[in-house]
Structure 1
């Protein structure tokens, strides 16, 4: 960079700093400057907080909801896999697969005295299920299903919502009615299976109300399956968000005729909502910043008119048009930077402590932001990502730069005669 260029930049900074500190005489221009700063601050802070909340939901989706549902299921079209261990070996050859476990799923009814409730009965392998499903870590009372001992009822694990509705506790007897379809396709007399409640789990949302876990070998005997026969296998992946791609790749390799079901089909609407809200927030940010940038255009244009005489005198003394342009560009950026800095500080602090703030408000006002019986979490999550903060502030600065170019270029084109007249 040449010496003249450095001098021009230094002079532009000095002039911009002087004009910015001393301000302008018009109260209206000062008001517009404040409005633009506030606009940038609100836009930056709102976007940081909003994206942090969506990041929190995405984190909880991964750590809570996706940890208790299979990433992929391969379910036999014929009704059962003749040898689930063979299918599991084929699935595990994919490098992105963590573990595989067999399952049998049936619709059933729980009966207790005169109360009946429809549930999804999940027969799982006691040990392998832990590798694809962490429901055992959410047990609040009792234990996970264990090996059935001779002369005792097989264990069953139920959700806290179902336990409250039917007034069940650990050790209570559980009677399950399983529908039976005859060879003609008609329903026949249901099977009655007795279990004992060995554990109660609490995950959140509807999962606590309609699922019952029982040992796989018990249901294999009940359905007339062999030791290695199962309805399908469930798969846990290194990255659950690659479920669509990995499911297609594995499905084209395995030899069994199966239905391919990934978590996007059952719970994908939750993730799609998070992504949609993120996209809307980025759009809102651009709109808010654009409104604030129009204020910068207005205030700089009027500031140029107010400084006509100063610019004219400086140009007669040899001030170059590029220096004039740079001076007003810096003035516009200085106006935006204050708002961006305040918005970033406020947004980061609120995003960091947002769960605690809402917890205090919920206790004081006696209300719940998220109902645990409806959603998979019962608190407002937040996760601040500094990469997003950098993107937001950089975007805001870029919009402010674009807004400053028009009035600055207009000021640079004016001749000393026009300015002094």
Structure 2
């Protein structure tokens, strides 16, 4: 199929070198514009992929400790938690349920003192809703036997208290006992039987686990605080939580993992949005370099434009010629940038360690950062959005030069030819 002559001439100008244009500098500017768009697109894809990777790693480490959904009673105890767990499992998205007790406490050993988030768990059922059993560096969750008053600590928490497996710590419960001398806190000695490391500082430094029966005795509860759930797809947690509101019986509170960490996820989204805007400005600058390139091309091609006009070409056709040229440059730069960005983002997990080995450096030292490897997650929607914006900006940048070409007057252009 024969293409319209506007497309043929536009592509010819795009491929033209010094011999055709008569000016190698114009071709050089066009090449720089294309390269700028490509680098801007590639940089934006790589940066967003790395940010997606960090978000994914932190989220996964967070959810190795947290449940996807928590159901609890406003009274602080849930005597019929088995019924609630059974009703929750009727939802096809729920694949695990386990009871828990949620409380606050102080742990002391010698002169060391640390506040902790205390969680009472059922060791046999906890693996259904969290991966703490896979994160154990010492001991096992099964060592949390009822009545044994044993405790499992996060790695940073154990280090701050200076304890390891087999050591004793004293737990101070905030709910005290009334005595003739006044209100006194309840104290209980626990034996450290395990240490876990989830890779998430907040939980490694503040979470302690004990058997759910010991927690009920210590805090004088008649039943667990609530039920924790795990889903097939954690991304559907908000939707499943809304469904459970209508299917569970009783007066219950339901919250999903996005609500528990709403501030953190909001901060990450704001950072991604601002980074996207900043790097898009780089693409905009490169795209609008097309303006100068096309304006110079139009100036250089005034005689050709005049001849086309005298042969009967309409102003709209002249505009199409230079629009095709600019859009072709923008499309080529965008496509090259997408290919380069995707290649770099895909290769980061293995190329960065290789570079670190060759240079003898570590970009993310474990002593400073909680993630020692540079992660990357290439998201198709990000690539499509970046490519679309780059192409649209390139197309917009061609409008003024194309309009200027359409306004060239044949008589004036050929006067000195």
Report if TM-score (shorter chain) is over 0.5: yes
The residue number in structure 2 matching 1:168 is: 163
Aligned mate of 2:77, from 64, 77, 80: 80
- Tell me, in whole angstroms, the C-alpha distance in 2 between the residues paired with 1:190 and 1:346: 62
- Tell me, in whole angstroms, the C-alpha distance in 2 between the residues paired with 1:70 and 1:386: 28
Aligned mate of 1:103, from 100, 104, 116: 100
Question: Any stretches of 5+ residues in structure 2 without a counterpart?
Answer: none
Distance 1:64 1:198, change over 3 A: closer
- Tell me, in whole angstroms, the C-alpha distance in 1 between the residues paired with 2:90 and 2:391: 49
Query: How many angstroms does 1:24 deviate by?
Result: 4.5
Aligned mate of 1:195, from 183, 191, 198: 191
Distance 1:7 1:200, change over 3 A: closer
Query: How many angstroms does 1:46 deviate by?
Result: 1.5
- Tell me, in whole angstroms, the C-alpha distance in 1 between the residues paired with 2:69 and 2:108: 31
The within-5 A match list for 1:81-230 is: 81-146=78-143, 148=145, 153-182=148-177, 187-226=183-222, 229-230=223-224
**Could you tell which deviates more after superposition, 31-40 or 42-51?**
31-40
What is the DSSP-based 3-state SS (H/G/I as helix, E as strand, rest coil) of the residue aligned with 1:203?
coil
**Could you tell which deviates more after superposition, 158-167 or 214-223?**
214-223
Give the total of aligned pairs.
412
- Tell me, in whole angstroms, the C-alpha distance in 2 between the residues paired with 1:7 and 1:203: 61
Question: Any stretches of 5+ residues in structure 1 without a counterpart?
Answer: none
- Tell me, in whole angstroms, the C-alpha distance in 2 between the residues paired with 1:63 and 1:193: 33
Instruction: Report if the CA contact (8 A) 2:327-2:398 is conserved.
Output: yes
The residue number in structure 2 matching 1:288 is: 282
The within-5 A match list for 1:403-414 is: 403-414=397-408
Query: How many angstroms does 1:324 deviate by?
Result: 3.0
Instruction: Report if the CA contact (8 A) 2:62-2:198 is conserved.
Output: no
Asked if 1:343 is matched to 2:337, the reply is yes
The residue number in structure 2 matching 1:70 is: 67
What CA deviation, in whole Å up to 9, does each residue of 1:307-328 have, x standing for no partner? 1112223433455545433332
What is the DSSP-based 3-state SS (H/G/I as helix, E as strand, rest coil) of the residue aligned with 1:382?
coil
Query: How many angstroms does 1:56 deviate by?
Result: 0.8
Distance 1:149 1:59, change over 3 A: closer
- Report the TM-score, using the length of structure 2 for normalisation: 0.85
Query: How many angstroms does 1:378 deviate by?
Result: 3.7
Aligned mate of 2:383, from 380, 383, 389: 389
Query: How many angstroms does 1:208 deviate by?
Result: 0.9
**Could you tell which deviates more after superposition, 345-354 or 125-134?**
345-354
Instruction: Report if the CA contact (8 A) 1:109-1:119 is conserved.
Output: yes
The residue number in structure 2 matching 1:328 is: 322
Instruction: Report if the CA contact (8 A) 1:362-1:369 is conserved.
Output: no
**Could you tell which deviates more after superposition, 65-74 or 257-266?**
257-266
Query: How many angstroms does 1:123 deviate by?
Result: 0.6
Distance 1:225 1:317, change over 3 A: closer
Instruction: Report if the CA contact (8 A) 1:110-1:119 is conserved.
Output: yes
Aligned mate of 2:39, from 28, 39, 42: 42
Distance 1:71 1:183, change over 3 A: farther
Query: How many angstroms does 1:258 deviate by?
Result: 3.4
- Tell me, in whole angstroms, the C-alpha distance in 2 between the residues paired with 1:28 and 1:7: 28
- Tell me, in whole angstroms, the C-alpha distance in 2 between the residues paired with 1:108 and 1:189: 10
The residue number in structure 2 matching 1:256 is: 250
- Tell me, in whole angstroms, the C-alpha distance in 2 between the residues paired with 1:182 and 1:145: 31
Distance 1:283 1:266, change over 3 A: same
What CA deviation, in whole Å up to 9, does each residue of 1:226-254 have, x standing for no partner? 5xx21111222333334334334423443
Query: How many angstroms does 1:128 deviate by?
Result: 1.8
